């Protein structure tokens, strides 16, 4: 199964501890990821995210169990998902103190069947860009410091 890996970096106007705490709370992902419309069944280090895919007036809700792990406090966390169709995605977030805030680098590794690869990579990169833009917006507003 083909695997793709890509990453992006943003600067956030908050301390690494504030960013880490925000990202370790599953409820923070509603609206953070543009596909996630609800979070439920939070159990320890996992939760169910409801991803909503739209095609015109139609939509499909994809319930996925996400394992969210704080690897190193205030420095690193990962989330891992196994989606229908054999899609596996791991996102690793590295946080580093920077002048007036935090540098956040998110690396995504996604494996998918060849027939789905183009769609999966396009969705994953689009979601990553939106998520990092929303994080930048949230922390520039000073709401989550």
For 23, residues 6+ apart whose C-beta sits below 8 A from its C-beta are 77, 93
* Cβ proximity of 4 and 109 under 8 Å: yes
pLDDT higher than threshold 60 for residue 145: no
In a domain, 145, yes or no: no
In a domain, 129, yes or no: yes
What's the whole-number mean pLDDT along residues 1-23? Answer: 94
Q: Which of 2-16, 48-62, 83-97, 112-126 has the lowest mean pLDDT?
A: 48-62
Question: What does pLDDT average to over the chain?
Answer: 91
In a domain, 119, yes or no: yes
pLDDT higher than threshold 90 for residue 80: yes
Half-sphere exposure for 124 (CA within 13 Å, toward CB): 26
CATH number at residue 20: 3.30.530.20
Q: Which domain holds residue 118?
A: 3-140
In a domain, 36, yes or no: yes
For 21, residues 6+ apart whose C-beta sits below 8 A from its C-beta are none
pLDDT in tens, 95-123: 999 988 999 999 999 999 999 899 999 98
Structure tokens belonging to residue 92: 């690793």
Indicate the number of domains in the chain. Answer: 1
């Amino acid at each position: 199964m083909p695997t793709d890996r890509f990453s992006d970096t943003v600067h956030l106007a908050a301390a690494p501890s504030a960013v880490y705490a925000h990202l370790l709370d599953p409820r923070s992902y509603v609206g953070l990821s543009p596909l996630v419309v609800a979070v439920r069944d939070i159990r320890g280090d996992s939760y169910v995210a409801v991803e909503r895919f739209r095609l015109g007036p139609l939509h499909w809700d994809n319930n996925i169990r996400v394992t969210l792990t704080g690897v190193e406090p205030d420095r690193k966390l990962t989330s891992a998902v196994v989606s229908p169709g054999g899609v596996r995605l791991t996102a690793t977030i590295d946080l580093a103190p920077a002048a007036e805030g935090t540098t956040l680098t998110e690396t995504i590794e996604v494996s998918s069947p060849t027939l789905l690869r183009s769609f999966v990579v396009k969705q994953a990169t689009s979601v990553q860009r939106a998520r990092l833009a929303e994080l930048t917006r949230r922390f520039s507003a000073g709401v989550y410091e």
